[in-house]
Structure 1
Amino acid sequence: MKTRTLIALMGASVLALTGCSASETQTEQLTSGVDEAAKAAVPQEIRDAGVINVAVDYPYPPFEYQDDAGEITGLDIDLAYAIGEKLDIPVQINKQPFDSVVASLQANKNDIILSGMNDTLERQEVLDFVEYLHAGFAIAVPAGNPEGISDELDLCGLTISSQKASTSGDILRDLSEECTSAGKAEIQIHELATTNDGQTAVQAGNADAFIGDAPIMEYLVATAGDGSTFELVDFADAPKGFEPVYTGVGVLKDEGLTEALTLAMQSIEADGTYDALLEKHDLKQYRVESIDVNLAEK
Structure 2
Amino acid sequence: MKAILKLTLGVLLASTGLASADTLEKIAAAGKIVVGVKNDYRPWGYLDASGNIVGLEIDLAKDIASRLGVEVELVPVVASNRMEFLQQGRIDLIIATLGDNPQRREVVGMVEPNYYAGGANVLAPKANGLKEWTDLEGKDLCAIQGSYYIRETTQKYKANILAFAGVPEATAALTNGSCVGLLYDNTWIESQLASEGSWADYEMPFVTEQLQPWAIAVPLAELDGPYGLKISEIITDWHKTGYLIEANAANGIAASPFLEEQHEKFK
For normalisation by structure 2, the TM-score amounts to: 0.82
Q: Is 1:285 matched up with 2:256?
A: yes
Report if aligned partners of 2:77, 2:96 keep a CA contact under 8 Å in 1: no
Q: Percent identity?
A: 21
2:133 and 2:206 in contact (8 A); partners too: no
Partner Cα separation in structure 2 for residue 150 and residue 247 of structure 1: 27
1:76 matched to 2:46? The reply is: no
Q: Which residue of 1 aligns with 2:177?
A: 205
* Structure 2, gaps ≥5 residues long: 13-20
Give runs of aligned pairs for residues 157-236 of structure 1, distance below 5 A. 157-176=138-157, 186-223=158-195, 225-235=197-207
8 Å Cα contact 1:150/1:234 also seen in 2: yes
Contact 1:39 1:260 in 2 (8 A): no
**Aligned residue for 2:18?**
none
CA pair 265-283 structure 1, distance change in 2 beyond 3 A: farther
Within 2, Cα distance between the matches of 1:57 and 1:46? 21
2:214 is paired with a residue whose SS is strand
Summarize the Cα distance change of 1:287–1:194 in structure 2 as closer, same or farther, 3 Å threshold. same
Which of the two has greater helix per residue?
A: 2
Give the paired residue count: 243
- Seen in structure 2, the aligned counterparts of structure 1 residues 88 and 250 have a Cα distance that, compared at 3 Å, is same
* Residue matched to 1:270: 240
Q: Who is 1:141 aligned against?
A: 124
What amino acid sits opposite 1:136 in the alignment? G
Output the CA distance in 2 between the equivalents of 1:204 and 1:38. Answer: 53
- In structure 2, which of residues 67, 92, 106 is the aligned counterpart of residue 86 of structure 1? 67
> Residue 135 of structure 1 contacts residue 244 of structure 1 at CA under 8 Å; is this kept in 2?
yes
Partner of 1:247: 214
Residues 62 and 49 (structure 1), Cα distance of their counterparts in 2 relative to 1, 3 Å cut:
same
Q: Deviations over 1:165-185 (max 9, x none)?
A: 111322322324xxxxxxxxx
Residue in structure 2 matching 1:153, options 134, 150, 158: 134
Mapped contact 1:38–1:86 kept (Cα < 8 A): no
Tell me, in whole angstroms, the C-alpha distance in 1 between the residues paired with 2:186 and 2:9.
Answer: 31
Q: Rate the CA distance shift 1:168–1:195 in 2: closer, same or farther, 3 A.
A: farther
Question: 2:11 & 2:74 partners in 1: Cα distance?
Answer: 23
Q: Which runs of 5+ in 1 are unaligned?
A: 1-10, 13-33, 177-185, 236-240, 292-298
Where 2:104 maps in the other structure, the secondary structure is: helix
Letter in 1 for 2:77: Q
Cα RMSD after superposing both structures: 2.5
Corresponding position of 1:67: 48
